[in-house]
Structure 1
Amino acid sequence: MIIDLRSDTVTKPTPEMLNAMINAEVGDDVYKEDPTVNALEERIATMFGKESALFFPSGSMANQAAIKLHTQPGEQLIADKYAHVFNYEGGGVSFNSGVSCKLIDGHRGMITADQVQESINPPDFYHSPLTSLVCIENTTNKGGGACYDFEEIVKIRKVCNDHNLGYHLDGARLWNALVAKKEQAIQYGEMFDTISVCLSKGLGAPMGSVLVGDQKIMEQAIRVRKVLGGGMRQIGYMAAAGLYAVENHLDRLQEDHKRANEIGKILEGISFVINVEPIDTNIVIFTIEGDEEDFISKMASKNIHFYSMGQGKLRFVTHLDYTQKMHEYFIELLQSL
């Protein structure tokens, strides 16, 4: 039994999802003639109360397209220092949009309205980049699956309104936040100009993200997707997986959260574990004494696989393919350390 806790991206389609994929009706999506893609886009746009949605092959491409829609070369976006758009998208902010990042030292990847206010460059001071966009991430990946307080999101929206800034949400794991905080997608649609949501993490689809927004901001999205190489043909087979995931795998995310919390409690009782960060959703980040690579290697010899995040931090991520049987075995193993 191999237990892969490296990421929630490692899942494989369930038999039911595969069946939905096999039976999907498809067409050429570059011509917007794929009925299953169109249905997925309409479903997610409706969930968020937005006028438009567009299916992307990856979350990074969806985020990069959103940044391009909001900005002009030479401008600047505001984000937390842990932001995925800065750390894990290959420098795409500068490569694709010619935009720089003003990074905020937030808390577990989350920033406040006051910090955003302080980070806006004076628009009439032409020596500094023009601030045009605020990007936040919910849940935060590098922040250990932390969830924003929705009231802070509302406060940041007001700052954006006051300064005519775009507001983008990297919602790769927003589904986890919605379940953990008992919130609704429509609340987020009311706050953000654009939102990207991922289908291939917690929901278990093999690929795909969707970018949503109102018609005006999304008018050029399909052109930007084409420029980035994201035009796809009979992609309805993958959209069918995403539709199945949205309809069947949302509520079960609470199982991942419960197992992550149980793992965290066991880690807190292990003598060589120095610290376990707060666990809001399905990500467990902890620090150990001693050689972390040696610990990773020893656990791999017992068929437990996970990553180091650097600076002494290790990470477990629970997901759809991490079953109760695996969880019981893993808990027993941790208790024996």
Structure 2
Amino acid sequence: MIDLRSDTITTPTPEMIEAMSRAELGDDFFRDDPTVLDFEAQVADLLGVESAMLVISGTMGNIVSAMALAPRGTSIIVEATAHIHINESGWPSTIAGLTPRPVQGIGGMISATALTDAIAAGQSRLSAPTSLLCLENTHNAAGGRVMSPEDLAVLAGIAHDNGLNVHLDGARIFNAAISLGRSVSDFVQPVDTTTFCLCKGLSCPLGAVVAGSSEIIEKTRRWRQIIGGGMRQAGVIAAAGRVALRTMVARLEEDHQNAKLLATRLRDAGLDVDPSAIETNIVFVNLPSGNFDTAYLHSEMLENGVRISPPKAGRLRLVTHREITQSEALMASDLIAKTCEAARGRQLSSVNNAGMDAIY
């Protein structure tokens, strides 16, 4: 089965499993799990920050970062299609007591002018005062687009000059770094906190990291405990993370190449996709409007050995990862093109896609 739903479906490598089974363990609550301590120190050094903290998921990392940086009752600026805003179950309001202030970006990026206007709007007595800017890199809903460290620094500078803290949702930040040939630390320096996921392109079974100053990470540690994220023998997670940082980062370039290949093949078959816009490992294909049976497309692909997320809002989302080879990318592209042609002119059939949105 060729699975293009997400890079979250990657399974741990044999080396990761071996490292997990042999990890030296302690109790992370008491800060005496040596594998966690070593991993967190390694991450902090890699990102060029003072401290880092292991969490269960990227969403948890975003939550505890925001709660450490933004007082309840304030607002946070997010790009209108940011993962935090549209795909994390509404935690800013339900958990953190924060009001999202969405700003429409271009290619997932907020302009300096739009950011300045959003900050000004938050200064009204009728608005929740703005305390935090949340950025996303790579930007999921924009097709894995990359924000350069320079562009990121401009936005962070505007926010800081206006008294806002800045959080970077860097779930796929290593993809961004590999895409531009830059050090991952270049993306982290302008912001107050950063999260990245271990369980996407880095192929770990679970886990994410929050990084920042020692003072802020101590605050996030308290919030992690409050929302139920305290861990005990967490070295089993950190052990896989150590292997991932050593073996999985450089190879992300293969995923980017396969995504570009997939997009090029689909474009050449007549589908609406722009290979030049593919910067990392996410491909969005615009499907025909009118009579086009998306449910048929989804079911036929599955029947023929390719898993895709059900199309959403007229787009098909495809994600490459460690378990997709070049030949599989070619096979999948040919099948997608053939099935899309068969789906043209068909009336939309009914199918239950509950819980299957392409959000990760």
Secondary structure of the corresponding residue to residue 196 of structure 1: strand
Secondary structure of the corresponding residue to residue 63 of structure 1: helix
Shift of 1:192: 0.7
The C-alpha deviation readout for 1:2-33, integer Å capped at 9, x for no partner, is 01100000011111111111111111111111
1:326 equivalent in structure 2: 328
Shift of 1:309: 4.9
Shift of 1:325: 4.3
Query: Take 2:121 and 2:294, find their aligned partners in 1: how far apart are those partners?
Result: 45
2:14 counterpart letter in structure 1: P
Higher deviation after alignment, 167-176 or 147-156: 147-156
1:101 equivalent in structure 2: 100
Q: Is the CA contact (8 Å cut-off) linking 2:301 and 2:335 kept in structure 1? A: no
The C-alpha deviation readout for 1:225-248, integer Å capped at 9, x for no partner, is 001110111111111011100111
Query: Take 1:167 and 1:95, find their aligned partners in 2: how far apart are those partners?
Result: 21
Shift of 1:151: 2.1
2:75 equivalent in structure 1: 76
With over 3 angstroms needed to count, the CA separation of the structure-2 counterparts of 1:325 and 1:26, relative to structure 1, is: farther
Structural RMSD (CA) = 1.6
1:161 counterpart letter in structure 2: H
2:14 equivalent in structure 1: 15
2:223 equivalent in structure 1: 224
1:170 equivalent in structure 2: 169
Q: Is the CA contact (8 Å cut-off) linking 2:261 and 2:330 kept in structure 1? A: no
What pairs with 1:41-80 in structure 2 (closer than 5 Å)? 41-80=40-79
Query: Take 1:75 and 1:115, find their aligned partners in 2: how far apart are those partners?
Result: 19
2:152 equivalent in structure 1: 153
With over 3 angstroms needed to count, the CA separation of the structure-2 counterparts of 1:276 and 1:123, relative to structure 1, is: closer
Secondary structure of the corresponding residue to residue 218 of structure 1: helix
**Unaligned regions of 5+ residues in structure 1, if any?**
none
Secondary structure of the corresponding residue to residue 233 of structure 2: coil
Query: Take 2:312 and 2:188, find their aligned partners in 1: how far apart are those partners?
Result: 34
2:29 equivalent in structure 1: 30
Secondary structure of the corresponding residue to residue 133 of structure 1: strand
Query: Take 2:274 and 2:38, find their aligned partners in 1: how far apart are those partners?
Result: 42
Give aligned-pair identity as a percent.
36
The C-alpha deviation readout for 1:66-109, integer Å capped at 9, x for no partner, is 11011112100101111111111111011111101111110122
What pairs with 1:283-294 in structure 2 (closer than 5 Å)? 283-289=282-288, 290-294=292-296
Number of aligned residues: 335
Query: Take 1:291 and 1:274, find their aligned partners in 2: how far apart are those partners?
Result: 16
2:351 equivalent in structure 1: none
2:253 equivalent in structure 1: 254
Shift of 1:329: 3.1
1:240 equivalent in structure 2: 239
With over 3 angstroms needed to count, the CA separation of the structure-2 counterparts of 1:11 and 1:126, relative to structure 1, is: same
The C-alpha deviation readout for 1:225-280, integer Å capped at 9, x for no partner, is 00111011111111101110011100000000000000000111223x23447211
2:88 equivalent in structure 1: 89
Secondary structure of the corresponding residue to residue 283 of structure 2: strand
1:135 equivalent in structure 2: 134
The C-alpha deviation readout for 1:20-57, integer Å capped at 9, x for no partner, is 11111111111111111111111111111111111000
1:329 counterpart letter in structure 2: M
**Unaligned regions of 5+ residues in structure 2, if any?**
340-360
2:262 counterpart letter in structure 1: I
What is the TM-score normalised by the length of structure 2? 0.89
2:207 equivalent in structure 1: 208
The C-alpha deviation readout for 1:114-155, integer Å capped at 9, x for no partner, is 211110146763221111100010001111100013321121
1:274 counterpart letter in structure 2: D
What is the TM-score normalised by the length of structure 1? 0.95
